[in-house]
Structure 1
């Protein structure tokens, strides 16, 4: 089952911030003790794999941003 539209937008925002901070999928995987391939699945639109709220909170802490930075500005 593919991601919903809002899930895909969240993943895109996380990826944009990740790349701006020059972090790799391997870096993100190490935060959660998962494989880089799993982060690759999260960053694939057709995969149901998704960050949890706890994951997003940890990413916001490590990226020094708000969880809101990962969310769409307007409802979809």
Structure 2
């Protein structure tokens, strides 16, 4: 699940990457993934993959920018922490329902 802040960061990374003419595979290779692994494509698509702080630090090095360039300023109005907590609560609720259904 990607929160609104995840989507914002992913879009900013893509914009900077595109502006610098750097292809997804180039970043995959610099991350140590095999050519064609598709990790960056998975992040930039609607998949579940997303960047963590370690990725963002490496991306800042690769794209020769400040890690803060990926973040909203001064902050994002949407409450991504609430989005994330709501998502986790819903996932737990569904898992509990599924376990109860399997018991029957």
Q: Which residue matches 1:32?
A: 31
Aligned residues: 74
Q: For structure 1, list consecutive stretches of 5 or more residues without a partner in the other structure.
A: none
TM-score by length of 1: 0.86
User: How big is the alpha-carbon RMSD for the aligned residues of Structure 1 and Structure 2?
Assistant: 1.3
Contact 1:28–1:36 (8 Å) recurs in 2: no
* Cα displacement string for residues 16-47 of structure 1 (whole angstroms, at most 9, x for unaligned residues): 00001100000110111224411111001x32
Q: For structure 2, list consecutive stretches of 5 or more residues without a partner in the other structure.
A: 78-104
In our comparison, the structure showing a higher alpha carbon Rg is 2
TM-score by length of 2: 0.65
Moved over 6 A (4+): none
Moved more, 11-20 or 26-35: 26-35
